[in-house]
């Protein structure tokens, strides 16, 4: 398959294919197929049979999960170069989340039989896949701990910083989160209510930390949000930035 250079580089840099030689990587691309979706369509739904692994090369993907009480929780957003659906390398399992297109999306896809064959040919792919799944388990544990132990403002700050690291774009005013992000989205990411998120953002605006408009958030003071997110005393944390704090990674 002939891919544009940018898509080839995104696939080559994807965590599941990291460290492959040119000889190992060539059959990976040859075995892929392209899947394109419009905004709002689903690559897969939670509890669907896990049959396909993807690498996103254009657009963004929202990952969501429904709780036992029926509440939707946004787990995060994926940007080009990210792997999703990796659990499809295991037989007879279902997807634990839903993956929904945000804007027009284009992804490379490998079905289960193809991925198993590629792993047999290049064991490094299997090792990378295992590392990804371990990382996802660790991230899930971190999120559960956040929801159960941290105050709401701290959770919202961490969510905003995570999104900034994933989709942040520097503009004149600060860092724009380049996603159609509503306050309801933030509420679903942090296990709280729309009212509470609105109150937190309004307070941050008064303090000069963020600028919040309809489906748009601009971070005016990354340092100020890191102080809140890491629960650092107000007179500490000199020099912190978006790069500090491993828990800010998705």
- Tens-place pLDDT, residues 114-173: 999 999 999 999 999 999 999 988 888 887 788 778 899 999 999 999 999 888 899 998
CA 80 to chain centroid: 10
**Residues comprising the chain, all counted:** 250
**Residue 2: what pLDDT?**
79
Task: Phi first, then psi: give them for residue 232, nearest 5 degrees.
Answer: -90, 140
C-beta of residue 173 within 8 angstroms of C-beta of residue 211: yes
In this chain, the answer to whether the domains covering 5-147 and 150-248 adopt an identical fold is no
Q: Sorting pLDDT into bands at 50, 70 and 90, what band is 27?
A: very high
Sign of CA dihedral 122, 87, 128, 131: negative
Please provide the CATH number assigned to the domain covering 5-147.
2.60.120.10
**Residue 241: what pLDDT?**
44
Calculate the dihedral angle through the C-alpha atoms of 187, 192, 193, 198, rounding to the nearest 10 degrees: -60
**Residue 234: what pLDDT?**
62
C-beta of residue 212 within 8 angstroms of C-beta of residue 195: no
Sort 159 into a burial class: Cβ within 10 Å, 0-12 / 13-18 / 19+: buried
pTM of the model: 0.82
CA 216 to chain centroid: 18
Provide the residue ranges of all domains of the chain, joining segments of one domain with +.
Answer: 5-147, 150-248
Please provide the CATH number assigned to the domain covering 150-248.
1.10.10.10
């Amino acid at each position: 398959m002939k891919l544009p250079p940018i898509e080839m580089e995104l696939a080559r840099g994807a965590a599941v294919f990291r460290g492959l030689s040119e000889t190992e990587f060539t059959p990976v691309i040859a075995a892929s197929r392209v899947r394109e979706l419009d905004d709002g369509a689903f690559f897969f739904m939670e509890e669907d049979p896990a049959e396909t692994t993807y690498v996103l090369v254009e657009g963004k993907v929202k990952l969501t999960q429904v709780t036992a009480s029926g509440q939707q929780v946004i787990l995060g957003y994926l940007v080009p170069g990210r792997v999703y659906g990796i659990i499809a390398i295991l037989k007879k399992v279902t997807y634990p989340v839903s993956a929904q297109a945000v804007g027009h999306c284009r992804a490379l896809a490998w079905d289960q039989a193809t991925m198993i064959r590629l792993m047999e040919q290049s064991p490094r792919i299997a090792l990378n896949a295992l590392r990804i799944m371990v990382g996802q388990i660790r991230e899930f544990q971190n999120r559960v701990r956040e929801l159960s132990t941290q105050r709401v403002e701290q959770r919202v700050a961490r969510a905003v910083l995570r999104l900034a690291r994933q989709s942040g774009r520097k503009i004149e005013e600060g860092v724009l989160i380049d996603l159609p992000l509503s306050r309801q989205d933030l509420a679903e990411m942090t296990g709280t209510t729309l009212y509470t998120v609105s109150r937190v953002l309004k307070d941050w605006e008064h303090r000069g930390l963020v600028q919040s408009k309809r489906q748009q958030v601009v971070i005016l003071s990354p340092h100020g949000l890191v102080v809140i997110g890491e629960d650092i005393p107000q007179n500490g944390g000199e020099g912190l930035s978006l790069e500090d704090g491993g828990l800010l990674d998705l």
